[in-house]
Amino acid sequence: MKSRKLLSRLSSHLLSLLLGVLLCFGGFHFLSSQAEPFVEPSLNNQGNNSTPLNLTKVPITGSRESFVSAAVTRTGPAVVRIDTETVVTRRVDPFFDDPFFREFFGEQFRARLPQERRITGQGSGFIVDGSGIILTNAHVVNKADKVTVTLKDGRTFNGEVRGTDEVTDLAVVKIASQGAKLPVAPLGDSGNLKVGDWAIAVGNPVGLDNTVTLGIISTIGRSAAKAGIPDKRVDFIQTDAAINPGNSGGPLLNSQGEVIGINTAIRADAMGIGFAIPINKAKALQNILATGQKVPHPYIGVQMVNLTPELARENNQNPNSPILIPEVEGILVVQVIPNTPAARAGIRRGDVIVGVNGKPVSDGSDLQSIVENAGLNASLKLQLYRGDRVIDLTVRTAQLQGTP
């Protein structure tokens, strides 16, 4: 009886085990049947076609042209190379006019002495008007006896320097198109620039025509004094786009190919620091230069540095200091140029200018801008410290001496 029960229970266990094995393998087969092998996507893959993807045949969507290429295509034809030639006459040493020398060596030797030499130069520019008006730098064409303009398409023209302004380093050259159609560069608005905007420099550096470099706007409104060019009156665009000799006068473009500046100078003691004249400044002076007129540059005639109370205190504590300086924040006059408006107004070395026309001023660049914007023959009321006294003086602006 017991053996029968034992056999019955054993049979039940074996049946359960067999049923479990069947269910397990059946489920595995069911699940596996739902999966399909992985097939790489392919351009030729239709349905279950498993041809591998050939990446070399994948079409590139959109245009292959970069924004730099598009910008240069738009403006590049209007960029020109400017070659100059200047004849320099040398005075013959009086020694060669000595009768003894002339008798000993003869007149033929003296006649062979070179009295003239030709100096060549090269720069860039760009056409801004279909009549042949070209903007460039003054230092590219100033005092040149011959100017040759070459377009990107190979056409060559004689150039006439219509006007130059050394203070802003701007110049206008005119070519006679003789009815030929000329490419014209689109001009942008340098007043809308932001730090970080793209900057594309185009020109002919070191004789390498039609060279393009790319960078960004590093800063705007960089004063000439802070840029290390104290003899200029420009608030420059600073860029890290490479500007090299021969780039001078060429355009600085934005990402749309519009001219936003005129490449002018670099810092010789640094890399990646170049400067361009804002195009809005060039627009304002273009007609004046094109007609050969003198560009107005008001001045008062002082050399100055910014002053803080700390600097003044350090000076005053020095026993060897030649003067005592008011310990205030302002603009210290370090020199008054003779026969200038400042000299006639009674401004003295050591004065500290702290206000103009009732408004405080503490930066020399701000004072220069006030004078520039006031125009010629304008009266400016200066408030200044002289020692421990506060003095009010009136100075009248005049045309900067030495400008053409």
Digit-coded pLDDT (tens) for 124-172: 999 999 999 999 999 999 999 999 999 999 999 999 999 999 999 999 9
Whether 190-290 and 69-175 are alike in CATH topology: the answer is yes
**Is the pLDDT reported for residue 40 higher than 50?**
no
Cβ(281)–Cβ(221) below 8 Å = no
pLDDT given at position 353: 97
**Which tokens go with 181?**
């159609």
Beta strand pairing call for 259-266 and 251-253: antiparallel
Q: Give me the residue spans of the domains in the chain.
A: 69-175, 190-290, 298-399
pLDDT beyond 80 at 234? yes
Contact call for residues 253 and 247 (beta carbons, < 8 A) = no
pLDDT band at 102 (very low <50, low <70, confident <90, very high): low
Residue, of 104 and 245, whose pLDDT is higher:
245
As to burial, measured by CB atoms within 10 angstroms (0-12 exposed, 13-18 middle, 19+ buried), residue 67 is middle
**Residue 368: pLDDT over 80:** yes
CATH fold, domain 69-175, is Thrombin, subunit H (2.40.10)
* In the predicted structure, residue 347 carries a pLDDT above the cut 80: yes
Angle at 8 between CA 6 and CA 14, to 5 degrees: 100
Mean pLDDT, range 238-255, rounded to an integer: 92
Ramachandran quadrant class, 229 (left: phi over 0; alpha: psi -120 to 50; beta: rest): beta
Question: Domain 190-290 adopts which CATH fold?
Answer: Thrombin, subunit H (2.40.10)
Which stretches does DSSP call E strand in 249-396?
Answer: 251-253, 259-266, 274-278, 298-299, 302-307, 330-336, 352-356, 359-360, 379-386, 389-396
Superfamily of domain 298-399: PDZ domain (2.30.42.10)
Closest CA to 250 of 260, 238, 236: 260
Helix (H, G, I), strand (E, B) or coil at 102: helix
Q: Which region holds residue 259: left if phi is over 0, alpha if psi is between -120 and 50, else beta? A: beta
Q: pTM for the full model? A: 0.73
The Cα–Cα gap between 362 and 320 comes to 26
Residue 141 burial (CB < 10 Å; 0-12/13-18/19+)?
A: buried
The pLDDT of residue 244 is 84
pLDDT digits (tens, 9 = 90+) for 287-327: 999 999 999 999 999 999 999 999 999 999 999 988 889 99
99-112 average pLDDT score: 56
Confidence (pLDDT) at 16: 58
pLDDT tier, 90 (very low <50, low <70, confident <90, very high otherwise): low
Is residue 212 over pLDDT 90?
A: yes
The residue ranking higher by pLDDT, 82 or 107, is 82
User: Which residues are the active-site residues?
Assistant: 139, 169, 248
CA distances from 168 to 164, 289, 335, 343, 361 (A): 9, 11, 23, 25, 24
Amino acid 11: pLDDT: 58
For residues 104 and 99, which has the higher predicted lDDT (pLDDT)?
A: 99
Task: Please give the structure tokens belonging to residue 185.
Answer: 């560069």
